[in-house]
Amino acid sequence: MRTTLAYLLLALTTLHAAISPDHIRRLQEEAAEALVIKADQVDVKITELKDGRRLDIQVTASIQSVIRSKAGHKPGDVVKVAYKVMELKNPPPGPDEAKVLEKGETVRAYLDHAGDKQSLRPAAYGERFQQP
């Protein structure tokens, strides 16, 4: 009984510890927009929580180059990207949070269209923004 309980506990603690690279790659490939963007403006709203804080991020970015775009974006277009980052004292196991982009930073971004149709949202967990 003790051995079974130990194996069960071990399995549960590693169950969501990481997302497989194949799954991340699939999310990147399925993203509606794969763009190289430069963050022209970054606005961060911080909400303090009991066990950390939530950052609501709004980025206005210019498209530097297009890997693929279902919406027909072109270099020079301006897009808005909205996402949140949870900074918790004891984060649960799982994928990494997206990084907070800095003004002037250029990244390859995997994005999907947000429900409001006005902005884009990250599409692939912590692998949303990468160096171009």
Q: Which residues pair with 130 in a beta bridge?
A: 108
Closest residue by Cα to residue 107 from 57, 58, 38, 60: 38
- Write the single-letter amino acid at 63: I
Q: Where are the domains of the chain?
A: 2-130
pLDDT of residue 128: 57
How many whole angstroms separate alpha carbon 116 and alpha carbon 82? 11
pLDDT tens across 22-81, in order?
A: 877 888 888 999 999 999 999 999 999 999 999 999 999 999 999 999 999 999 999 999
CATH fold for domain 2-130: OB fold (Dihydrolipoamide Acetyltransferase, E2P) (2.40.50)
pTM of the model: 0.76
CA gap 129, 104 in Å, rounded = 14
> 100-120 pLDDT, tens per residue?
999 999 999 999 988 777 789
Element (H, E) at 82: strand 78-88
pLDDT at 124 over 50: yes
